[in-house]
Amino acid sequence: MSNMIQKLVIDQSGVPLLKKYLDVSSLRHKLISGNIANVSTPRYRSKDVDFHGELRKAIGNNGHISGKRTHPSHLPLGQSRQDEPEIIVDKSNARNGINNVDIDKEMGDLAQNQIYYSIGARLLAKKFDGLKKAITSK
């Protein structure tokens, strides 16, 4: 019964997409925080994730079937999704004489990402409020 509710209500309401949105935003926050924490670590390379690219992957499969590989030996089905977002390591030269972390850019990215996360959390809360009202209204 709960599997049917999952498929008919939760999956159709957009909750899985908002979950992916929050997951990618959370990962990006961890990467940016790591970059800031390592601003004075010699030879550290800054890391990021293509936030908008990951969202496009989550949204736009153009109607094609895509499968999730649960084992490396499995054959990909259609346009296969990656389990985790790809982490991009910046291999450019040192900008500050120590590493390639630009603290001003990282702080700006952190503020922007916080806004993205807050929006996603609010949208998800509104989705659940709507589902709750639909279930409890008479």
Residue 65: the pLDDT is 47
pLDDT digits (tens, 9 = 90+) for 52-93: 888 888 777 544 445 666 777 766 655 445 567 889 999 888
The identity of residue 62, as a single letter, is N
- The residue whose two tokens read 């309401």 is 13
Residue 43: the pLDDT is 92
Residue 97 has pLDDT above 90, yes or no: no
> In which element (H, E) is residue 20 found?
helix 15-37
**For residues 38 and 44, is the Cβ–Cβ distance under 8 A?**
yes
In the chain, what percentage of residues exceed pLDDT 70? 78
For residues 9 and 28, what is the distance between their CA atoms, to the nearest angstrom? 29
pLDDT digits (tens, 9 = 90+) for 22-48: 999 999 999 999 999 999 999 999 999
Residue 77: the pLDDT is 58
pTM equals: 0.75
Q: Where are the beta strands (DSSP E) in 63-131?
A: 87-89
> In which element (H, E) is residue 49 found?
strand 47-49
Greater pLDDT, 131 or 102: 102
For residues 64 and 137, what is the distance between their CA atoms, to the nearest angstrom? 37
**For residues 113 and 25, is the Cβ–Cβ distance under 8 A?**
yes
Greater pLDDT, 124 or 80: 124
Greater pLDDT, 79 or 132: 132
Percent of residues in the chain assigned helix, strand, coil, to nearest 5: 55, 5, 35
For residues 11 and 60, what is the distance between their CA atoms, to the nearest angstrom? 16
